[in-house]
Amino acid sequence: MSVSVNAAPAVAPAPASAAPAVNPACAEPLPVLGRDVTVPLVTGGEVTYAALDYAASAPALQRVWDDVAAYAPYYGSVHRGAGYLSQLSTDLFEQSRVTVARFLDCRPSDQVVFTRSTTDSLNLLAAALPAGCQVFVFETEHHASLLPWSDAQVTYLNAPRTPDEAVATLERALADRTATGEEGYGPALVCVTGASNVTGELWPVKELAAAAHAHGARIVLDAAQLAPHHPVSVQDLDVDWVAFSGHKLYAPFGSGVLAGRADWLQEAEPYLAGGGASRKVSRREDGGVDVEWHTTAARHEAGSPNVIGVYSIASACKALTEAGFESLVARERHLIAKVREGLAGVPAVRVLSLFGDDAPRVGVISFVVDGWNSSHFAAALSAEYGIGVRDGLFCAHPLVRTLLGSEPQAQGECGAPEAAPGERSLNAIRVSFGAGTPDEHVERFVRAVRELVADGAKWRYRTEEGRCVPAV
């Protein structure tokens, strides 16, 4: 691929067109890095690794890797140099901003700020909240969207059991918020996930946004688990901001996005103070300095930006758009059905859910197995079958504890880290997949679950530094 200042790598996605009808059973997964990696089994031999932990970090699309590799020789500092490579990199960086805005269907006045991750994006927004802002967040959120609001007045909402209950719960909470003097209600923000990182269930974002706006509040969407699986339209959902991470969108390299309304961001002090965020710095007669900050997205992008990470996000946005979300969603539903039907055939398995079996979801499913500690089960899947899943509380402790309740967890031959005094150790198993997952990986997973439940582990395991590992 040839790269030049006047013909930089194309990163803006073509307009989405209606995807042709697709037979998900015949559709091919998108090529991803690591698809041919083999790993050793404790029982002997090797097997192709089945990466089923997409909800933590999805493998990079081969397309993304190729685009980044083509750009890498032309790498230069962004917004800092007059040289050819710096000019090219600056153009690439800013075109990536345009690509992301199109991918999210942003409003013309919205800003796209590049961050390190979803967590960083939401902490940035938390730092930009106006004085007296009240924040409303469900206890079901990932810690990235549950915890950043400590400097605001926060109302934590109980876990709803239906989408309608979620909307009603929010409406009651907003209606009950207290006025702040003669001017009435102060600013308010609702934070909600688009798809749960524990159950995969889709949340009624559009309805929650309507409820928030009806009560004079704004809303930020945590799309970390939604954007890799479904199209996200800021305008259609009518959200004020959206946040997501590149490493879940098949574009690792430590970059994220906060996109949405500019006013709160422009009025807040820069998230980080330094070069790039400042337009003008001058000495005062008293020995101090005066600073004029940018009012564009650069205000919150101090320091040398991660141009490779940003470009990788843009490349992933373009690749997913060109692949067609209609086809991607259809194939993922096919995989979800395979996993759910397979787990339903194992009586010892209980799938965790807030909204019930019929709730629409993305490729994220968590479950527990009677008679097994989840850490032990996940370790056996890895060591004996070459299958990578996640076990624990998934950085969503209140939600998982709510879903698990007081059900006993067998310790087995090794278990989870010790609980605090007076508490019981709880954890679950999460399998997650996406655009790069072949049928064989989910079929092997279902077969492994059946065999482990029926026959037990073939190997002995022990606890080492809080993790369950094969005993040697």
Residues annotated as catalytic (active site), given as ranges: 395
Q: Which residues contact 24 (CB under 8 A, 6 or more apart)?
A: 330, 331, 332, 333, 334, 335
Among 412, 348, 341, 351, which Cα is nearest to 380's?
A: 412
Q: Which residues contact 63 (CB under 8 A, 6 or more apart)?
A: 30, 31, 315, 316, 319
Q: How far is CA 118 from CA 124, 204, 342, in A?
A: 10, 20, 32
Separation between Cα atoms, residue 249 and residue 317, nearest integer Å: 8
Q: Is the dihedral of CA 83, 85, 91, 97 positive or negative?
A: negative
CA 26 to chain centre: 28
Name residue 134's beta-bridge partners. 153, 188
Q: Which residues contact 26 (CB under 8 A, 6 or more apart)?
A: none
Q: Which residues contact 78 (CB under 8 A, 6 or more apart)?
A: 86, 89, 90, 93, 304, 305, 307
